[in-house]
Each structure stands twice: as C-alpha cells, then as structure tokens.
Structure 1
Amino acid sequence: MATIDLRTEIKEFLRSRRARITPERAGLPAYGGNRRVTGLRREEVALLAGVSVDYYVRMERGSLTGASDGVLDALASALQLDEAERDHLFHLARQSKAPSGPRGRRPAVRVRPALQQVLDAITDAPAWICDSRYDVLAMNHLAAALYSPVLADTRRPANTARFVYLDPEAAKTFFVDYDRIACDVAAKLRMEAGRNPHDEELITLVGELSTRSELFRQRWASQDVRLHRSGRKRLHHPVVGQLDLDVESMELPAEPGLLLTIYTAPAGTVTADGLALLASWAASQEKLTTGMQALS
C-alpha cells in the first residue's frame, strides 16, 4: 500500500455499511424477492437520509466535500452507524474538505520525563503510553514484565499491531481472545487512517501488515472501525499464567494522539496475586541484569 486514497476510503466504507442493512431492518418494504444488491439500494439510503439520489451517489463515489454536519448526521442515521462509525464518517468528511497535500512524516514523538515519572510512580499496575499506531513509547517496570512477549522483538519502538499480525503464534498464546484482539487492532488502525490519511508512518505500517499477513488484509477489507475503550483483557503470561485484567485507556490532553493504558485487578483475586508475582519476578530479573552488568 503506497498511499491511503481518501475517495476510495469513503466509497468502500459507505458501500460496506449500506450492504449490511436489509430493508426490513431499515423499516422499508421489500418489494419482490429478487433484489440485485446486498442490503439497501442507493435510492433507499437517499430516501432515509432525506437527500436526492444523485447527491447520495456522488457521496458514495467518494465525494463528501460540501456535506454539512446535518447531512452527515442524517446519513449516519440512515446507515445505522454506531459511535465509532459515525466519528469515522466525520473524519473522512473533514479530510475531504482539507487542502490536499503530500504524505507527511510526523516529528518523532518523545514522552516527556514527567510522564515517565508518572508511569514509574504506578508500582502495583502495568502502565504504558502508546500512540494511535500501536507504537509503545514508554512503560513502567511492571508493564515491561507483562509485555515481555511483545518486547521480544528487538525492533523499537515495539508495536503491538506487528506482534499480533506478524508473530501470530506467539500472539495467540499471549492474547487469550486473539481473534477479538486482531479485529480490534485492525479496526482502530482503520479509524486512525480516516483521521490522518497522510501519516507516512501509518501508511508504512498498514502496507507492511497488508503485505505480510493475509488475516490483516481480510480484517482491513472489512472496513470496521473501533474506538479505544476501557474493558477487560485476558492475557497468558509465560511466567505467571493467565491474568484477567481490567483495562483503562485514556487520552492525554496535553499530548494529542497519545494514550495512557493501565491494567488492574480487584484485590484478593487470582489475577491480583498474579500481578504481585509478576512484580516479584520483574524485580528479580532487574537485580540479575544489574549484577551481570557489574561483573562485565
């Protein structure tokens, strides 16, 4: 993938969302049993959105330039978009209105020392900071111990998306719910592509994953999008076994594009005991490394 073409993104996204909705689901009569399209026809979407057929056809051909927020809201309702899909539609529309320009390489992101101090102050829970491309930019000691399978690849910054799709055997062992994780990773990258279609690092990452992973190509083609949300994640660590963790992800207002993620477990649970064991193991590994450095 040499570039992310905005018109193609818009066209394929709208077509995929239209194809999944039956007339019955949309509250429309389905005349006859021989429909030539999967899902709604273009004229049916136009009717539901309150726009002309020609206008909707122009949008589905990849042109959202000039579409007002009201029209976009009506289109989102007609296609029954969820929150992430609606946000994605608006991202695509905003990019359509923005001046076109060449791909751009973002300046290298450096995590401020104060943020690393915040991570280091969190001693009982794995915590790290990543960007929207899944580059892991900073971690505390417990996060480094927890994500040791991901960090086994010496490439830096470590990237969770590469681990999931390019080291699938290790990823399937580490992520108990691997299929869901794989879907979410591709969907969140797709969301970022709508937000920043000219990001050179993102284009390179998507191109690498598309070239090397058939599963990623399938997931990318689904046009699904996801928001970063809090929830639960089940991991199988090679030292302490399975951990069922609560995940809190939050954007850093002073650092646009960066996410702080913290894994916790209720006190008295098997997972809390596992985190304590992980912390002990991490401390022993650090002492061993320090001792070996002193001997060298």
Structure 2
Amino acid sequence: MGFCKCFDQQFGYISLVELAAPVRLIVDNPIAFFLLSGYKIIKIVEIVDNMQDTLVPQALSTSQGMTLTEHVFKQIQSAIVLGHIPAGSKISEPELARIYGISRGPLREAIHRLEGQKLVERTAHVGARVVSLSLQQFQELYQIRASLEGLACKLAAQHIDKKQILALRDVLRMHAEDENFKAGKGYYLQEGQDDFHYCIIKSSGNKTLEKMLCDELYHLIRMYRIQFSNTPDRPSKAWDEHIRILDAIAEGDGELAEMLMHRHINASYKIVEQTLLQNQGEQQHG
C-alpha cells in the first residue's frame, strides 16, 4: 500500500496521505490518524512504500538540544495550531506512544504541557481531546486578547526603543514581501519573533502580561488566527492596521496605539465569529 507526502505551500507543512481507501491522514511524522475530510493537497512531494520505515526514524530524531519530550510536544502543538489535528479530536496516548517508540511518561508530560497552553483538554472517562471552544468561550478569549494586547501596546509606547522599532518595521516589511500575502491568499503567520503581535507584547516590559499572552494563551489564539481569520481582503487590511499601530507606538502615543489594537482585534474577531457560525450551520444541515 502506498503513501504520498504532501506539502502545504501556505504553511510549509509536510503531511503523509495513504493512497488507498479508507483514506487516512498521517500528520507530521506521524502523530495521529484521521479521515481525510476537506484537506486540500497542495503538492505531492513523493510516493513512499512503507509508512513506518519512512516516518518513525524521523519522529524519533530530535532537533539539536531538544529532548524527545520537547520534540513530540512541538510536533503535536504545531499540528493542532495548523488544524491538521481537528478541534475535538481524541488524543490516543497508546497510539502516540507506539508510533514514537517512547514510554507513556514523556508523552503524558508533552500532553500535560499542551493542556497548560489550552490546546488540549482532559475529561473524566473520556480522556484528552483537542480543544473545541464554544462560541461563548471564543468570545471571552478575544475579549481578553483585545484588552491585554491593547495594554501591551500602551506599555510598549512607554518602553520601546529605536532599535526595537526598526526591528518591528523589518518584521512588517518581511510580511509584505511574502508571496502568499502579495497574492492575497493569507497573512504571514509564523510564530515568535516573526509575529508582529508577539513582538509588541515582548516590547511591553511587563513580564506577567508576556507570560499570559506569549505562553499560556499564545498558541490557542494563534490557532484561531491561522485557521479562521483569513478572508480575501483581510491580509492587506491587517497589514495596514499593523503599520498604524506601530506608528502610534513609535510616536509614544500609547492611548492611540491601544485603541487601534482594540479595533484591529475586534475586526479579526468578527471574521472568525462569522466563520465559526458558518461552520456550525453546515454541521447542523450536513
């Protein structure tokens, strides 16, 4: 039975798809099996004959300085954020332990860390599942996000230096040069130092705020930004809004920067909300 490696050009993500029915999606070297439903194959990279020979050695290899637990944690985290593991999917510890060839202890540690990032939730008598927020929970999340990121902008206007301003302008310049952005297909949504929002929060000078937004809630928020917030005209509008926010911070106008960030996140909220409502309607009538 054959498999094909598939490359998602928008996110630079490799997946493996079985070529025979029932179709299974083996995610990122791999971490779980799912029905291939609504998954768009952008490009077939190669055909391979044996899933285990191809993937398990890769799964067990670790990046320089990274423990096996950290490696597994990062792979599962990435797959959840990008939507390759759908919201609400059950996390099978025995299957993951078998695939990676690791004991349940390190695996449980990785899953526990994902729980801490609000990406996985554990229910009695059910086990661990990928988080699936209700509309009310999503609304509450974005209310918190708007308030805290607005505060981060206000504080950044007081603490940021010229070097940080130039670095942020370089980040936005990189976003504008992204091929998908120029084609109107999506906004550049890499994490960490390449993420405009992340950099603003880091410039706030408030470590408690930084922990909340760059650690505890960061990947959950990023999941919604990536999976639900892109519409045809949104990337260019979002970039323009980023420019205005940065200009206000550079001028030391914290009040204006805070207001602009509130507006920016509220605009994103409306798009995500519309997508979630549409998905709910399709499920009810499907």
Would you call these one fold, judging by a TM-score over 0.5? no
TM-score by length of 1: 0.25
Q: Rg bigger for which structure?
A: 1
